[in-house]
Structure 1
């Protein structure tokens, strides 16, 4: 608790005032903003001190967290996928906490990905011992690969997994399966491209 209190004391002054004004977690449009009592447990559970030293996780929306840098200088509200935490994974959710508070903790709109409607989908780049990942891809894609064939498929990557798949639907499915994002690719005239490109703002 002491460590979290030290971090809070170095956060944005507007955040400190807001935190002192609430007694329970605040839910707004899918975002859960933590009250003082919840902060230690949430930050400990997700090992924020280990992965994002000097940051405090102040809220959460599904599998994404919201963070303030604790450097006595205010600054942006950041967000990142909780499955992959590091400073390189942070993007800005709001320029400062006070602006975000006034918006009712509104979420920034993710840009629409530039995908064709349908394309052949391939599985590739899964580590050779990643059988469990391939099992998850099997379930996500709704294909019926035999379990006895999985190691052979891993050795044959990239391999065709689904013909004329609906890429926007697949991308929506990947929102809830971040561990599979690097491994699902679609065919273009220039080779294979990631369904969830690593350069997209919400990509982790």
Structure 2
């Protein structure tokens, strides 16, 4: 199915809007594509290959916005570009017209279930993972001496920061995926990962990390 064929099978409100614009619309961090941009965007990200039956109508950073091409209405979906498929989508708006009336507002991301502050530990880095520990040093803004790093690796889990702001640390980990399995915070029940383990296929399972 070509992009133009896909458009003809999308939400009628979307088709009317698309016919009314001549340029991409930018609203906050969202770009909603005009007709001229749709073929290139959908081809570049190979939407037809990994998300058959959907049209990518917009983008916000590394996330795309999608409509089903099923001769009906339906929600506006959002998903990470390059995701695995339909199972990875969540609903950004109940319909295109609702999204349009909102000014293409972004739905709020759910906050992880974290306390505001807690002591943060480093644990589980391989004993030869000095470079990972160097990256953790920079992320956590601590001043461990480089000559002590191998000793710290041998002493895991070790206390890295007292009363760290966990929400800020969680946001920092968005840009440091290699450190997500190794930064833990103290609870009454042991140590738990700051980054929710079920977010990453390769992370520890089970949620809590006890030592």
Q: TM-score, normalised by structure 1?
A: 0.74
The residue aligned with 1:43 is 42
The residue aligned with 1:96 is 95
Output one character per residue of 1:121-144: Cα deviation in whole Å (capped at 9) or x when no partner.
345678999998777655433456
- Change in Cα spacing, 1:142 to 1:27, as seen in structure 2 (3 Å) is same
The alignment yields a C-alpha RMSD, in angstroms, of 3.6
Aligned-partner SS, 1:16: helix
CA contact (8 A) 1:56 1:70 kept: yes
**Residue 77 (str. 1) matches residue 76 (str. 2):** yes
- Structure 1 portions without partners, runs of 5+: none
CA contact (8 A) 1:126 1:154 kept: yes
User: RCO (CA 8 Å, sep 6+): is it higher in 1 or 2?
Assistant: 1
Q: Where does 1:1-204 land on structure 2 (aligned, <5 Å)?
A: 3-82=2-81, 84-122=83-121, 137=136, 139-143=138-142, 161-177=160-176, 181=180, 184-197=183-196
Q: TM-score, normalised by structure 2?
A: 0.72
Q: Aligned residues, how many?
A: 199
CA contact (8 A) 2:45 2:82 kept: no
Tell me how far apart the structure 2 counterparts of residues 82 and 143 of structure 1 sit (CA, whole Å).
Answer: 34
Tell me how far apart the structure 2 counterparts of residues 95 and 173 of structure 1 sit (CA, whole Å).
Answer: 31
- Change in Cα spacing, 1:129 to 1:112, as seen in structure 2 (3 Å) is same
Output one character per residue of 1:128-184: Cα deviation in whole Å (capped at 9) or x when no partner.
999987776554334567899999989997665544321111123234556755654
Q: Which has the larger radius of gyration?
A: 2
Shift in Å, 1:107: 1.7
CA contact (8 A) 1:122 1:158 kept: yes
Output one character per residue of 1:94-126: Cα deviation in whole Å (capped at 9) or x when no partner.
101111111111122234433212223345678
Range 65-74 or range 97-106, more displaced: 65-74
- Structure 2 portions without partners, runs of 5+: 200-211
Tell me how far apart the structure 1 counterparts of residues 57 and 92 of structure 2 sit (CA, whole Å).
Answer: 12
- Change in Cα spacing, 1:78 to 1:150, as seen in structure 2 (3 Å) is farther
